[in-house]
């Protein structure tokens, strides 16, 4: 029996907290191709009206991807998405913390919907984050 088939509607998905540092953002920029300076350069971020260097929205969504791998190892992800509703500000020293949790939703055939909650410092940073996995 796979871990996925044991997930039942209404189950709470255990909370996982990740840390993001400026060095992570530099590595992610290189790996993803997204060299937008608002994710690396405080001066530019402030100049365009942001509160500081912010994580790529896709970095935070990638952390959701990691959480899916923890909750349902090996599950095929068939849909993943969210709105980016608040920035994750990453300090020059130390790290920002992002917490991912959620609830198991409907199962339709072999597809399982997951409704997620993604916060940083108690603020929701992703809007309506949802994933559908197969298994």
Partner 1 sequence: MPIDASLVGRGFPPTQPYPVTTDAVVAFATSVGGSYDVAAGLPPTFPIVVTFAALQDFLATEQVELSRIVHGDQRFRYERPVVIGDVLTTALTVTGVRTIGGNDIVSTSSEILDASGSLVCTATATLVHRGDAA
Q: Which residues make up the interface to partner 1 (CB under 8 A)?
A: 18-19, 24, 27-28, 30-38, 44, 48-50, 56-59, 61-63, 65-66, 68-69, 73-74, 76-84, 87, 127, 131
Closer to partner 1 by CB, 1 or 10: give it: 1
Closer to partner 1 by CB, 10 or 13: give it: 13
How much is the CA Rg of the chain, to the nearest whole Å?
A: 16
Closer to partner 1 by CB, 78 or 121: give it: 78
- C-alpha 43: how far from chain center: 25
Minimum CB–partner distance for residue 56 and partner 1 (Å): 7
Closer to partner 1 by CB, 41 or 106: give it: 41
| Residue 67: C-alpha distances to residues 36, 42, 51, 83, 109 (Å) | 25, 29, 27, 17, 23
Minimum CB–partner distance for residue 130 and partner 1 (Å): 8
* Token pair belonging to 112: 């399982």
Residue given tokens 């997951």 in the structure block: 114
Residue given tokens 């060095």 in the structure block: 23
């Amino acid at each position: 029996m796979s871990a996925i088939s044991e997930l039942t509607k209404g189950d709470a998905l255990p909370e996982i907290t990740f840390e993001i540092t400026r060095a992570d953002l530099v590595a992610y920029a290189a790996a993803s191709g997204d060299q937008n300076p608002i994710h690396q350069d405080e001066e530019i971020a402030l100049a365009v009206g942001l509160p500081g260097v912010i994580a790529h929205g896709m970095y935070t969504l990638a952390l959701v991807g990691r959480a899916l791998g923890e909750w349902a190892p090996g599950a095929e992800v068939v849909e993943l998405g969210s709105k980016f509703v608040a920035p994750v500000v990453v300090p020059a020293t130390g790290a920002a913390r992002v917490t991912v949790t959620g609830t198991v939703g409907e199962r339709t055939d072999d597809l399982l919907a997951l409704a997620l909650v993604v916060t940083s410092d108690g603020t929701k940073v992703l809007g309506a984050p949802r994933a559908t996995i197969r298994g």
